[in-house]
Each structure stands twice: as C-alpha cells, then as structure tokens.
Amino acid sequence: MSFINYSSREINCKIVYYGPGLCGKTTNLQYVYARTSPEAKGKMISLATETERTLFFDFLPLSLGEIRGFKTRFHLYTVPGQVFYDASRKLILKGVDGVVFVADSQIERMEANLESVENLRINLSEQGYDLNRIPYVVQYNKRDLPNVATVEELHRLLNPRNVPEYQAVAPTGVGVFDTLKQVAKLVLTELKRGG
Amino acid sequence: MNPGLVMYEEEFRKISGICDRLTRDASAKVVFLVDKNGQLIAAAGQSQDLDTTSLASLTAGNVAAMGGLAKLIGESEFPSQFHEGAHESIHMSIVGGKVVLVVIFDAKSSLGLVRLRVRKASDELARVFEQLARRQSAPGTPSPLAEITDDDIDNLFSA
C-alpha cells in the first residue's frame, strides 16, 4: 500500500523480494545497498539468525529521485525463504506494492521455486492481492553456477504470466538493478493508473 | 490493489499538532506515527537524532508479529504494548485499526502518564484519519499521480 504525502511531497512504496531459501534475496538487497550513494539510501536492517539466515525480514529504504516535484522512496523488504517461516512471510506481504520473485536457477532447486511461487500466490490472496495483477518481476538468479536450468525451462515453469524477467548473479550485481528498476517502474505505472 | 494512504496538508498539520502536544503533555522524548505497513507518517520531539525510517519499519514489523501472536491465542490484536529499557522505554498503540502511535520516553515521564495522554491523543488522531479516509474516498477525487506521464517514470530511470 503506497503512501503519498502531499505535505512532504513524497511517494512511498513497498517492494517485497520473495523466493525459496538461499535463492539470493538478501544478496540482492546487499548489492543494492553497497552500490547506492549514501544520500539515496537509509540504513539496511537485517533481522537474521546467528548463521545469517533471514529470520524475519531485511529492510532497505531507497530514494530514486523526483517525479514532478515528488520524491520517490522505495522500501525494499525480503522475506525469510525457509518453508517454516510462513507466518512471517504473510506479515511482510501486508501493504505490498510490487513483488520480485527471485528464483534459484539450479536444477535441484526447481521444486523449491515452484513451491515458493505457489506459497506467494496463496499468501498474496490472503491479503486481498492477485499474483496475476500485482506489479511483478521474476529474476533467475545464480546464472553463474554450472548446474542451472535453461531460461526457457525456468520461464515455462515460473513465469506463465510472462512478466518482465531477468537473469542475475546477485553477488556480482548482474541483473540486480535491472530487476529493481523494472519493478519500481511497474509500481509507479500502477499508481498512476490509480491502482 | 488496495488504495494507498494519501496525506494532505490540512490533515498533516493536525496530526503533527497532536503529536507535538502529546510529546509535551506526556513529557516524552519522541512521538511518532507509523502506518501498519511501516511508512512513517509524522514525528515529533527529539527525532532528528533518530533513524525514524528504520524505527517505522521495525515498529510495523513488531506490531504485525504481535498481531499474529494475538490471533494464535484468539485475540484480534493487542491494542497496545510497552517495552521497558534501562533508560528508555517504548509505548506503542494502534489507532483506528490502521496506524501505530509510538511514544519513546525516559525517567522524566512514567508509563501511567504516557498511557493517559496517549488515550486522549488517540481519540483525536482517529478522528483525523476518519476525515482523511472520507476525503480520499469522496467521488471525483482524482488519482494523486494522474498527471504523471509514462515519460516521467522513464526519466526517473534514465540516469
């Protein structure tokens, strides 16, 4: 749920990175954080376990510049990917404006990807959102690994809606900003439409 | 999609006024107002030294988690919660079901005083948010971003 403040001339939106455990959601945010100028970002918060697995969420506030005198601010969140943290995932989807699904391209993670997309669909619908209508981008991460599925295969299984999709290697930044820019653009376009 | 929250100048002034007064009346250090999705709406008191964006996001996460716990034990939500620190304490309460009023205070104040003042401020804030909701849902209210063109959006990302 966006927040438009006429008084401070700000548009605030919420983007959630979703996907199976260890697919690279936090790494996406870490790369964005590392490559953004200090004045455009706030502090990155990671509520993680001692072994650096996301426990509740990661949070990164980001400014993307001005549109017609309105500052655009995006709040990026990740969900914990591990299956048993479902209650937390539901909470983080509250008020979401756009979703990035980060898929793990490795063949052996295909089932986990499919399970996570289905989980996203269910959790969104519980909040009154429709995965077929919400601003949505799919990222095929870990393209640098040897045992990856083809993009055609990933597309067929994970992107039937044919939304914008990007290949990525999150630790080195390949595809990270393309994904973010695209989802931000879709969110703003949806807001303009009065969604 | 759910319609977002839109804040107008008039209501923002009222909300800021209520938060300023609550800061004084409750002898609080900081008062801020957050929507349940983690967006900071207003802040009053000594907020300039605080990372209010992070505070807002964590407040919403905390309230959401406590709301989840409440449902598990058969409550609809916990309308208020209090966290006591060695020096600073935090009181959070849900206003009008949609926003969270947060008061940070130290030994200069007390939980009793904060609770008392929060109750009064909550009623006033709830009325402002009702007014805001009516204004937003009034027929003929244009989308605040209707004038923005696709080119404007593209230009944001061309740099």
Instruction: Characterize B87-100 residue by residue with b for buried, 16 or more Cβ atoms within 10 angstroms of its Cβ, and e for exposed.
Output: eebbbbbbbbeebb
Instruction: Characterize B43-73 residue by residue with b for buried, 16 or more Cβ atoms within 10 angstroms of its Cβ, and e for exposed.
Output: bbbebeeeebbbbbbbbbbbbbebbeeeeee
pLDDT at A179 over 60: yes
B36 → closest Cβ in A70, A95, A133: A95
The model's pLDDT over A83-139, given as tens digits with 9 standing for 90+, comes to 989 999 999 999 999 999 999 999 999 999 999 999 999 999 999 999 999 999 999
The model's pLDDT over B82-112, given as tens digits with 9 standing for 90+, comes to 999 999 999 999 999 989 999 999 999 999 9
> For A48-57, A113-122, B25-34, B148-157, which range has the lowest pLDDT when averaged over its residues?
B148-157
Inspect the interface and report whether the beta carbons of B5 and A3 lie closer than 8 Å: yes
Q: Is A147 on the interface with B (CB under 8 A)?
A: no
- All domains of chain B in start order, with CATH: 9-156 (3.30.450.30)
Inspect the interface and report whether the beta carbons of A134 and B1 lie closer than 8 Å: yes
B37 → closest Cβ in A94, A190, A191: A94
Residues 110-129, chain A: which have Cβ within 8 Å of B?
A: 128-129
Q: In the predicted model, what is the mean pLDDT of residues A156-162? A: 96
Determine the pLDDT at residue A169.
Answer: 98
- State the SS3 of A103-135: EECEHHHHHHHHHHHHHHHHHHHHCCCCCCCCC
Q: Which residues pair with B33 in a beta bridge?
A: B42, B101
The token pair at A109 is: 């993670």
CB pairs under 8 A between A and B: 134
| CA geometry: angle A123, B1, A124, nearest 5 deg | 5
Nearest to A2 by CA among B14, B72, B144, B20: B144
Inspect the interface and report whether the beta carbons of B68 and A91 lie closer than 8 Å: yes
Q: Is A164 on the interface with B (CB under 8 A)?
A: no
Q: In the predicted model, what is the mean pLDDT of residues A161-173? A: 98
Q: Is B13 on the interface with A (CB under 8 A)?
A: yes
Q: What rounded mean pLDDT belongs to chain B?
A: 91
Chain A residues whose beta carbon lies within 8 Å of the beta carbon of residue B51:
42-43
Sorting pLDDT into bands at 50, 70 and 90, what band is B1?
Answer: very low
pLDDT at B159 over 80: no
Q: In the predicted model, what is the mean pLDDT of residues A140-151? A: 98
Return the sign of the alpha-carbon dihedral for residues A155, A158, A162, A165.
negative
Q: Is A185 on the interface with B (CB under 8 A)?
A: yes
Q: Is B148 on the interface with A (CB under 8 A)?
A: yes
Q: In the predicted model, what is the mean pLDDT of residues A21-45? A: 95
In A, minimum Cα distance to B41 occurs at: A5
Q: Which residue has the higher pLDDT, B34 or A192?
A: B34
- All domains of chain A in start order, with CATH: 3-192 (3.40.50.300)
